[in-house]
Amino acid sequence: MAQNRNQNQIEVPQAKEALNRMKYEVASSLGINLNQGYNGNLSTYEAGKIGGNMVKQMIHAAEQSLIGQTVSSVRTGFQQGLTNFPPSQ
């Protein structure tokens, strides 16, 4: 039987504060007023808008990170290729 697990758990506990700050920054940029603590007065639309924009920003950051890793790998490979040039025969 599948284990019943809360899907809203933060996978990296150290990121909790950063995610919380991001939530308030996104809400503010969307003109949505969030209170500290309980925000049961938010509409589903507003909550979804905040969450959706947070995911969008996280995907953007992950893509930028992947681009940086790829560029770094290509640069390292290119430098290794130059080090071994001309190839020994």
Say yes or no to pLDDT of 1 above 60.
Answer: no
**Domain interval for residue 25:** 15-35+42-56
Q: How many domains does the chain have?
A: 1
Examine residue 29 and state whether it is found in any structural domain, yes or no: yes
Examine residue 24 and state whether it is found in any structural domain, yes or no: yes
Examine residue 68 and state whether it is found in any structural domain, yes or no: no
What's at 22, amino acid-wise?
M
Average pLDDT of the residues in 24-33: 96
Examine residue 73 and state whether it is found in any structural domain, yes or no: no
Examine residue 83 and state whether it is found in any structural domain, yes or no: no
0.85 exceeded by the pTM? no
Angle at the Cα of 8 from the Cα atoms of 6 and 67, rounded to 5 degrees? 130
Q: Tens digit of pLDDT for each residue in 34-79?
A: 998 899 999 999 999 999 999 999 999 998 888 887 877 887 887 7
